[in-house]
Amino acid sequence: MHIQIGFDIELTINSPMAFIYLLHVHPSRSGDLWAPQQIQVGPGLVPEEYYDAFGNRCGRVNAPVGVGQVRFTSQAVVRDHGLPDEINLGAWQHDPTELPTATLQFLLPSRYCEVDSELLQFAWNQFGHTLLGWGRVQAICDFVHNHIRFDYMAARATRTAVEGFREGTGVCRDYTHLAITLCRCMNIPARYCTGYLGDIGIPPVRYPMDFSAWFEVYLGDRWYTFDARHNTPRIGRVVMARGRDAGDVPITMAFGENTLSRFDVTTYEVDEWGNPVELLGL
């Protein structure tokens, strides 16, 4: 299958400032693009691109005096296998002494995932009796899915996993931060993912399209995808960036005062000629 992805993001600024952004499709999916993804930064700004410590493709742009608005736009088509997230009930959990060293950073506390908190003892009390491996991660997802109430109006960029646990409300990043933290408490490496997730294979939802957050855990000999908000395998994820938590993978970050004036995200299935599948009645 093929998935059309894109965005149109505009920020209003009153002074010159620098921006960084993580809006490219992740390098692990770049080979699935119909053509190399181009990101336009207006008006006429030329970004500098680089790769961060997690292997994400990033950009930096400096907005000069008098710009007023900085706009990020892109459209691309991604090839996808069209299958739901993989399930492997037999995926086993490593003892920390056996884990690859590259995974150990995803056991540690991070800005939004306070492993060294009240959640540590709670996690062992709540999940210590569950089956090691896939069953334990699924039990964590079940708990988080039922514990947090999804509410766009309750979104807060500074909410941590502990605060999400206490408040019991939030958006996809809050589900993800809490699930990651509980996994790390149980010695399961877990990392944060941000990207596209459209309404492919499910009835359309009433919320406006947005970027999505989910997480991956290291079980057996590889990373597996989990999603505590939806808590069911989904079709058509397109990852943009991975990190310890949302602080590592900002969609855009402005180093100065700014106002978000436009935020449109698109992701939907298209046919081999680029026509939206839903309009064809397929």
107-152 confidence digits (pLDDT tens):
999 999 999 999 999 999 999 999 999 999 999 999 999 999 999 8
Are 54 and 241 in contact, with CB atoms under 8 Å apart?
yes
CB-based burial label for 280 (10 Å; 0-12, 13-18, 19+): exposed
Q: Please tell me whether residue 183 adopts helix, strand or coil conformation.
A: helix
**Residues in a beta bridge with 21:** 59, 252
Compute the distance between CA of residue 190 and CA of residue 37 in angstroms, rounded to an integer: 28
Domains and CATH numbers, the chain: 2-82+250-273 (2.60.40.2250), 96-235 (3.10.620.30)
Which residues in the chain land under pLDDT 50?
279-282
In this structure, what token pair is assigned to residue 125? 């009390």
pLDDT of 187 reads: 98
Phi and psi torsions of 240, nearest 5°: -105, -40
Q: pLDDT value at position 278?
A: 63
The pLDDT of residue 208 is 75
